[in-house]
Amino acid sequence: MGNVSFEKIMVATDGSACSRLAANKGIELTRLSRGTVYAVYVVSTDYFSSMAVDFDWERMHQTLKKEGLQTVDSVKEAGEREGVNVESVLLEGHPADELTRYAEENEMDIIVMGTLGRTGIDRLLLGSVAGNVVRHSKVPVMVIREKCKS
């Protein structure tokens, strides 16, 4: 096997402590390979179907979007501190599907992600998502399994 080069490293993030650890690993890997990090946050539409009809999902949607922007911005700042170029990407839909699609369409060399989202509603984001991405992605996936506290 020749030299493996990671020029396009996708970091899937949901703002949790686990995904921050994963982002740091992705940044470290990128610094060593002089590549670019693509910090990807998916505004999940998974919970809208389970909400009551009169639920103000537009407000929820705006809140999630704002949280997503803050999350990718924090990865960008962490990258800048290490001299690493970070592109921010905000997607919408089912997280595992969107992460897998984005990685394949944009020819990422590797996906770096944590195992667990935060508790409660956010558990939907990266808990089962990591498993799904690992099963369905044609792009190699590095799952950071560390004990992380929110």
Go through the domains of the chain in sequence order and give each one's CATH number. 8-144 (3.40.50.620)
- Rounded Cα distance between 120 and 96, Å, is 18
Q: Report pLDDT for 29.
A: 92
Q: Report pLDDT for 54.
A: 67
Which backbone phi and psi does 128 adopt, to 5 degrees? Answer: -70, -20
Q: Report pLDDT for 120.
A: 46
- Rounded Cα distance between 117 and 123, Å, is 5
CB 143 within 8 A of CB 115: yes
Q: Name the residue among 13, 143, 32, 3 with its Cα closest to residue 88.
A: 13
Q: Structure pTM?
A: 0.84
DSSP state of 29: H
Q: Report pLDDT for 121.
A: 46
Q: What H or E segment, with its residue span, contains residue 62?
A: helix 57-81
Q: Report pLDDT for 137.
A: 95
Mean pLDDT per 10-residue segment, the chain (150 residues) = 77 88 93 94 78 73 92 96 96 94 97 70 58 91 74
